[in-house]
Amino acid sequence: MGKKAIFRVLVILPVFFAACHSRRVDEDTLLLYARSEAAYEEGRFEELISLLSGVRSFTPALVLRGKAEYFSGDSKAAEGTFRRVLSIRPASVEASLYLARLLREKDEGEAAEGIITALLEDDPVNVRALRLGAEIYRDKGPAGEGTAAALLDRAVEASAESALVFVDRARIRWIGGNGEGALRDLLSAKSLLPWDTPLFRSIENLEAVIREAQP
């Protein structure tokens, strides 16, 4: 096994132990999953689907295959895969989000709304669920605009909290002499925020200070 493959297996082991419960997953399946992750990152979706075609119960691999099917335009296959994931692991947030998106695209808004409502009951600050929920309520027209706005307000607040985590780490990295790392964290923080906000502008100011201090 090459070094890159070994590294990928080590990275996914925590996911593996969390997902498989009492099921036995062999090393070949783990290696297929590692190879498939690389294919997904490079947009080789058809190759990924082929690699994972024989996987039946390892939910991280099934989620990855469902996403590849979705982005390949095979919505029917993707829906079937995500439903299979949820039949094995009902708490899968990723499968729930994608299934809700697929249902919305099929004009099954009520079913999609039910999934999002359940997700937000468990995790009220899940930004992706809040944004998708806002889209679903906007589809209802004027009757849904108020709820959509409230969900987006919550998403903005949650995004700001996440951004502040990156800002805190950026400060620590900068103090420790890692200016490049600090700038990467600030870029990540900015990507989570609307651009025309006081917090966004304060991050830009901090970014400018760090750049000026760089040798």
pLDDT of residue 24: 58
pLDDT of residue 18: 46
Contact, 92 vs 63, CB < 8 A? Answer: yes
- Read off the pLDDT band of 25 (50, 70, 90): low
pLDDT of residue 172: 94
pLDDT of residue 194: 77
- Read off the pLDDT band of 6 (50, 70, 90): very low
Q: How far apart are CA 47 and CA 39, in angstroms?
A: 7
State percent of the chain over pLDDT 90.
Answer: 75
Q: Please tell me which residue, 195 or 175, carries the higher pLDDT value.
A: 175
**Helical segments of the chain, H only:** 3-20, 27-41, 45-51, 59-71, 75-88, 93-105, 109-122, 127-138, 142-175, 179-191, 198-213
pLDDT per position as a tens digit, 36-75? 999 999 999 999 999 999 999 999 999 999 999 999 999 9
Q: Which residues contact 91 (CB under 8 A, 6 or more apart)?
A: none
Question: What domains, with CATH codes, occur in the chain?
Answer: 1-118 (1.25.40.10), 123-215 (no CATH)
Give ∠ CA 104-64-10 in degrees, rounded to 5: 145
pLDDT of residue 4: 44
Confidence (pTM)? 0.74
